[in-house]
Amino acid sequence: MDRGNTKQEILEASLELFSVQGFEATSVSQIAGAVGIRKASLYSHFENKQAILDALVKEVLEQYEAHSIFAKADQEKDAGDLPMTPDAAVQMIQGQIRYILHDPSISRARKMLVIEQFQNPELAKLQTKQNYSDVLQYFTGLIARLIQQGVLAEDDPEIMAAQFCLPISVWINLCDREPDREPEVMALVSRHIQQFFKVYQPKEQTVFFQELD
Amino acid sequence: MDRGNTKQEILEASLELFSVQGFEATSVSQIAGAVGIRKASLYSHFENKQAILDALVKEVLEQYEAHSIFAKADQEKDAGDLPMTPDAAVQMIQGQIRYILHDPSISRARKMLVIEQFQNPELAKLQTKQNYSDVLQYFTGLIARLIQQGVLAEDDPEIMAAQFCLPISVWINLCDREPDREPEVMALVSRHIQQFFKVYQPKEQTVFFQELD
DNA sequence: GTCTATATCCAGATAGAC
DNA sequence: GTCTATCTGGATATAGAC
């Protein structure tokens, strides 16, 4: 009924286990059991346990570079989509959150980075890049353009990006830990974004003119 | 030069190891080695490895309840310290961050909760309570009082608390992962708080008069 | 490629001398 | 309380039949 994709099945089973127990606490037998083979057979596909993690990291990195909107310097690409209303932003962000929460490999990779961040320097760097630096850089650019276009008030776009993204980052982690709280989190995200656009609303000089009629 | 406090030394060594490797990945031999005894001697102090974690969790919980400003319902207690200037807030928050970053037991307990959150339901609950719910509740109350006193503009205090705290929460995690970035983080915290007070500044009609000269 | 069998090692835990 | 010695099981990994 299968085979030929055993190597891929091993990677998937490993990620699932590593994302909950961590690398060290997961045994080769467990992985083999999840795939439906004996542990000895696993060594036909990978030289050792460490090689599984290495392959996994490589795959996670490639998936990220290939598909994440935060990975690329395509910050100019979707400039056409601007300007943005608060409601559109809520929809867009909630959609993105739902996607990365429920996509199995993205979700598991994120959890694995969280678990291994204090133990494995390579994964620590990856964690900072994927779930902090790249996201902040992306939104700093986006917000800077929204300021240029008069959608948001003039202010420090780097701090604005942090105030926009980092609460969401914490809420995603909360959902990873307690999936039942997703609805509550979605409501908070909505209120957060609405309020963000409100407090960073430009003081329009046009208001002046409108008030003069 | 010692003994009588061996049990406490075991707890401290265990927390240090658990906070980097996690519970499962840490061996009893490692703990014993860190304390300077053989692993068999360790069983004179704890029934088994799990009992060490249990005692650790109990201790962490007690320390938190006894000393954390977020644990208690003393939200009315320091109401006297209000109102608060942005600069005072920056000093106060930076001090708190430095403290919880460098206090060994607080720092290690926080990391352990991060590492074990997807594996251990008890620690997951503790993580949500100590590093999310309690903090947000505390600052929601604080901000509500600052609004009452006219220091901050009228707005949803719960979302304001999230926008205030959660970026800081992420920055603390970043420092746990990459301690060298503490100076950078401190600067971000300062800019963040200054900007927070600015955007939630109550709209004074006096601004109008100033602009008319 | 998968299996059984095995080698080697180290894990958690106990017994009993000191 | 700490030690050495030991038990038992499970860990990673290899050898070799099929």
**Residue range A80-89, pLDDT digits in tens:** 667 789 999 9
Which pLDDT score, from 0 to 100, does residue A4 have?
73
Residue with CA nearest to C14's C1' atom = B40
**Residue range B6-61, pLDDT digits in tens:** 999 999 999 999 999 999 999 999 999 999 999 999 999 999 999 999 999 999 99
A159 chain-B contacts, CB cut-off 8 A: 188, 191-192, 195
Q: Which nucleotides of D are covered by protein (CB under 7 A)?
A: 1-5, 10-16
**Residue range A150-168, pLDDT digits in tens:** 999 999 999 999 999 999 9
Please judge whether A22 and B25 are an interchain contact, meaning their C-beta atoms are less than 8 angstroms apart: yes
Given CB atoms, is A132 within the 8 Å cutoff of chain B? Answer: yes
Which pLDDT score, from 0 to 100, does residue A191 have?
98
Residue B47, CB, strand D, below 7 Å:
no
Q: Could you say which of B115, B124, B128 has the minimum Cβ distance to residue A118?
A: B115
Could you tell me the distance in Å between the CA of residue A94 and the C1' of nucleotide C11?
46
**Residue range B80-112, pLDDT digits in tens:** 667 789 999 999 999 999 999 999 999 999 999
Please judge whether B162 and A119 are an interchain contact, meaning their C-beta atoms are less than 8 angstroms apart: no
**Residue range A26-59, pLDDT digits in tens:** 999 999 999 999 999 999 999 999 999 999 999 9
Query: For residue A121, is the peptide bond before it cis, meaning its omega torsion is within 30 degrees of 0?
Result: no
Given CB atoms, is A22 within the 8 Å cutoff of chain B? Answer: yes
**Residue range A109-118, pLDDT digits in tens:** 999 999 999 9
